[in-house]
Structures are given as structure tokens and as C-alpha cells.
A = this chain, B = another copy of it.
Amino acid sequence: MTYNVQIKVMPLKDLLDPQGKAVLGGLKNLGLNEITDVRIGKHITLQIDAATEDAARAIADEAAKKVLSNAVMEFYEIEFIN
């Protein structure tokens, strides 16, 4: 079966996010002063062929750990759709 998996990779909460800070400045210049914080990460969708959801989750976890995220600076969350 084919599973659609979404992985969210975000900068760790304790770290500064310079890209987010820059975008926040841009939004304020546009007059969107109601926005008080911006953080930017990656959103990755995978299609995984696996027998069970657990097997698909293990594969997604390995991909996230080894390739898609950097544990020093980022955390990730895995979510199944449909």
C-alpha cells in the first residue's frame, strides 16, 4: 500500500531563526504589524510503499533522521494523511 506521509522540519525552539526574523521584518514593512513572530522550516511529503502504517512510519523516521533533518538545529514531526 502507498502511504502519504508529511514531515515537518522546524528550527529548534531555543534557537534563533534568522530567516524567520528577516521575513518578520519584511511583513512589518508591509504594515502587517499584528504578526509578532515568524519561524520557517521545511515541509516534506513522501510517498512510501509499505505493508503497514508502522512500517511506513519506521521508513519515514529513518529518512527524517538520516537525510531530511539536522538534529543539532532542527526537530521533526511525522504525520500521516488520508
Residues of A within 8 A of B (CB): 2, 8-10, 20, 23, 26-27, 30, 32, 34-50, 56, 59, 62-63, 66-68
Given A26-B67, A42-B42 in contact, is the A35-B59 Cβ separation under 8 Å?
Answer: yes
**CB proximity of A1 to chain B, nearest CB, Å:** 11
Given A30-B66, A67-B23 in contact, is the A47-B36 Cβ separation under 8 Å?
Answer: yes
Contacts of A68 in B (CB 8 A): 23
Partner of A9, one of B32, B43, B50, B66: B43
- Extra inter-chain contacts (8) besides given A10-B45, A34-B59, A42-B42, CB under 8 Å: A8-B43, A10-B43, A27-B67, A35-B63, A38-B44, A38-B45, A41-B42, A43-B43
